[in-house]
């Protein structure tokens, strides 16, 4: 999970608890601290509260007395909500805060009141519909398919509604709080408040405790959420790919399946599987961060740069591995996750941050457990001239394949290790140099043209306690300056 994603989840959870009257004093103080000290936190918070206001407009019987009284006293005019424009100007929130501080209100409570005040008037096409279970909150660049229904933003959706489009993205929020983003071309059907069916498209889902059990079915698979963040792709050929980024899901094959594959398979963080039309189940080897859609409110960043690493593969026997490598296009920054199967994070070793040559470049989240694999090999497909970096823990001997094929830059990068069953007292901190548990030496190799670079494993002689798998990153190759020619005579 990237740092912006972490902030979104933190704001989402704290604000939800405040709205549901389940927040502890510590929760309220933490939300207050975040939105008063961080501009990014305020942006995420206002966007989240805007969405919440829309949903409450459609599900509540009437506006709260406080909001109505404040409007009667000359509060801000109600306006049609836009997915890209905050409902309540921050200048008004600031004024409201100054008035309320004297009464002892925290910034969190003030902002919640502000969101209630700013409820929009519902447009005719978004009026409440009996049996509605979800709301279309965003439609970006959508080109609706032929004679398919055109769904405006803020439409309430009911069982049986089908969203069919050739391009663009839509974002839905189910009444249980489940957030779903679908990228076209897509054919997506609402089946219930806790279930949808996809015939085509790329789908990202974020599911909280209230939405546990949310199910996405496809022609060949059934994915049941168990409290998580996951993605599903249904391809034109009929196959279904499933990837779990946080938490876990149960994956079952619909219809005829391979012998012994009929029971649901539990997939956890970092695992991905493909189900073919005939029921054959296989591994998803690698997933790039731009493959599936992300919510703008989560701080998603799309890189316009041409990709460097196209694919990553290993020599694990087919059927014995279900984890996928994640190629992160958004860039190597402070507090980004280092591995798909751990919550450890990369950081600069001092408060100055990451080495300049590494900041913002493409990187690969590997499997930490691969450090135990004897005879391990990884193939990295480099698509264009690049500098390929490998980060190796200073707690292990330098492997011969690295020493012979790469050059030690003399730079180091830090790993902030999260709690695990091996280290229950560990926790991550925020920011460069704040909580470095292990340092890694940075090695480089210049790749002058498209090439598949083969990497090896960690030395078998390494200590089996307290070490980690290596990391990988890549940056465009910078050509050295041309030497001056001979002087004219």
**pLDDT-based confidence at residue 83 (cuts at 50, 70, 90):** very low
- Using the structure block, give the residue that is written with the tokens 């905050």: 86
The residue that leads in pLDDT, 435 or 116, is: 435
**Among 100-114, 123-137, 365-379, which is the least confidently predicted range?**
100-114
* pLDDT number for residue 1: 56
Contact 211, 174 (CB under 8 A): yes
Mean pLDDT of the chain: 79
**pLDDT-based confidence at residue 129 (cuts at 50, 70, 90):** low
CA distances from 439 to 27, 109, 340, 343 (A): 34, 42, 19, 16
**pLDDT-based confidence at residue 24 (cuts at 50, 70, 90):** confident
**pLDDT tens across 398-413, in order?**
999 999 999 999 999 9
The residue that leads in pLDDT, 274 or 9, is: 274
pLDDT at 5 over 80: no
CA distances from 241 to 223, 230, 249, 270, 473 (A): 10, 11, 13, 13, 25
pLDDT at 44 over 60: yes
**pLDDT-based confidence at residue 484 (cuts at 50, 70, 90):** low
pLDDT at 430 over 80: yes
Contact 207, 191 (CB under 8 A): no
The mean per-residue pLDDT over the stretch 132-148 comes to 93
The residue that leads in pLDDT, 420 or 387, is: 387
The residue that leads in pLDDT, 32 or 266, is: 266
**pLDDT tens across 202-261, in order?**
999 999 888 899 999 999 999 999 988 999 999 999 999 999 999 999 999 987 555 555
**Among 293-307, 354-368, 380-394, 396-410, which is the least confidently predicted range?**
293-307
Residue 430 in 3-state DSSP? coil
**pLDDT tens across 271-304, in order?**
999 999 989 999 999 999 889 987 665 544 445 5
The mean per-residue pLDDT over the stretch 471-486 comes to 76
CA pair distance 342, 81, nearest whole angstrom: 39
**Among 86-100, 187-201, 372-386, which is the least confidently predicted range?**
86-100
**Among 203-212, 312-321, 372-381, which is the least confidently predicted range?**
312-321
Rg (CA), the chain: 25
Cβ contacts of 8 within 8 Å, gap of 6 or more: 44, 48, 295, 297, 298, 299
Which domains, ranges and CATH numbers included, belong to the chain? 3-121 (no CATH), 125-284 (2.60.120.1440), 303-483 (no CATH)
| Strands 215-217 and 195-206, bridge-based pairing | parallel
CA pair distance 482, 450, nearest whole angstrom: 22
Contact 8, 299 (CB under 8 A): yes
Residue 193 in 3-state DSSP? coil
pLDDT at 179 over 50: yes
pLDDT at 91 over 50: no
The mean per-residue pLDDT over the stretch 175-185 comes to 95
Q: Which residues pair with 186 in a beta bridge?
A: 165
* pLDDT number for residue 120: 41
Q: With pLDDT > 70 as the criterion, what percentage of the chain qualifies?
A: 72
The residue that leads in pLDDT, 46 or 189, is: 189
CA distances from 452 to 44, 261, 403, 457 (A): 40, 34, 18, 16
Structure tokens at 313: 């593969």
pLDDT at 110 over 90: no
Q: Among positive and negative, which fits the CA dihedral 460, 465, 469, 470?
A: negative
* pLDDT number for residue 256: 59
The residue that leads in pLDDT, 97 or 456, is: 456
For every residue of 107-171, DSSP letters joined together read: HHHHHHHHHHHTPPPPPGGG---TTEEEEEEEEEEEEE-TTSPPPPTT-EEETT-EEEEEEEEEE
CA dihedral 172, 173, 174, 175 (to 10 degrees): -150
Structure tokens at 293: 């859609």
């Amino acid at each position: 999970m990237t740092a912006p994603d972490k902030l979104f989840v933190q704001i989402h959870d704290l604000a939800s608890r405040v709205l549901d009257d389940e927040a502890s004093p510590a929760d309220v103080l933490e939300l207050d601290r975040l939105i008063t000290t961080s501009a990014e936190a305020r942006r995420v918070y206002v966007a989240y509260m805007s969405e919440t206001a829309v949903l409450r407009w459609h599900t509540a019987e009437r506006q709260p007395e406080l909001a109505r009284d404040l409007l009667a006293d000359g509060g801000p005019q109600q306006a049609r909500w836009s997915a890209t424009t905050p409902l309540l100007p921050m200048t008004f929130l600031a004024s409201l805060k100054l008035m309320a501080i004297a009464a002892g209100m925290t910034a969190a409570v003030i902002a919640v009141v502000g969101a209630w005040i700013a409820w929009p008037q519902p447009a005719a096409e978004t009026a409440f519909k009996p049996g509605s279970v979800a709301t279309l909150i965003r439609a970006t660049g959508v080109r609706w398919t032929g004679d398919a229904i055109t769904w405006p933003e803020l439409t309430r959706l009911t069982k049986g509604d089908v969203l069919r489009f050739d391009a663009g993205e839509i974002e839905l929020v189910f009444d249980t709080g489940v957030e779903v983003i679908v990228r076209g071309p897509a054919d997506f059907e609402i089946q219930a408040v806790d279930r949808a069916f996809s015939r085509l498209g790329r789908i990202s889902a974020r599911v909280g405790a209230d939405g546990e059990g949310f199910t996405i079915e496809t022609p060949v698979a059934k994915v049941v959420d168990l409290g998580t963040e996951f993605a599903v792709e249904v391809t034109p050929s009929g196959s279904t790919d499933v990837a779990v980024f946080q938490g876990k899901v149960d994956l079952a094959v619909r219809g005829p399946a391979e012998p012994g594959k009929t029971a649901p398979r539990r997939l956890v963080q970092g695992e991905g599987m493909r189900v073919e039309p005939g029921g054959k189940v296989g591994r998803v080897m690698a997933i790039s961060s731009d493959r599936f859609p992300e919510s703008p409110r989560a701080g998603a960043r799309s890189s316009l740069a041409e990709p460097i690493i196209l694919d990553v593969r290993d020599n694990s026997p087919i059927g014995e591995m279900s984890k996928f490598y994640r190629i992160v296009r958004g860039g190597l920054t402070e507090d980004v996750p280092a591995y798909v199967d751990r919550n450890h994070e990369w950081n600069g070793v001092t408060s100055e941050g990451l080495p300049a040559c590494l900041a913002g470049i493409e990187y690969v989240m590997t499997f930490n457990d691969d450090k135990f694999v004897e005879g391990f090999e990884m193939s990295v497909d480099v698509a264009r001239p690049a500098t390929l970096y490998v980060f190796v823990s200073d707690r292990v001997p330098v492997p011969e394949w690295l020493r012979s094929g790469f050059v030690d830059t003399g730079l180091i990068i830090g790993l902030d290790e999260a709690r695990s069953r091996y280290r229950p007292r560990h926790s991550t901190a925020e920011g460069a140099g704040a909580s470095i548990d292990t340092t890694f030496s940075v090695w480089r190799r210049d790749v002058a043209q498209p090439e598949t670079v083969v990497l090896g494993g960690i030395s078998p002689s390494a200590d089996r306690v307290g070490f980690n798998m290596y990391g990988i990153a890549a940056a465009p190759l910078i050509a050295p300056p041309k030497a001056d020619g001979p002087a004219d005579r």
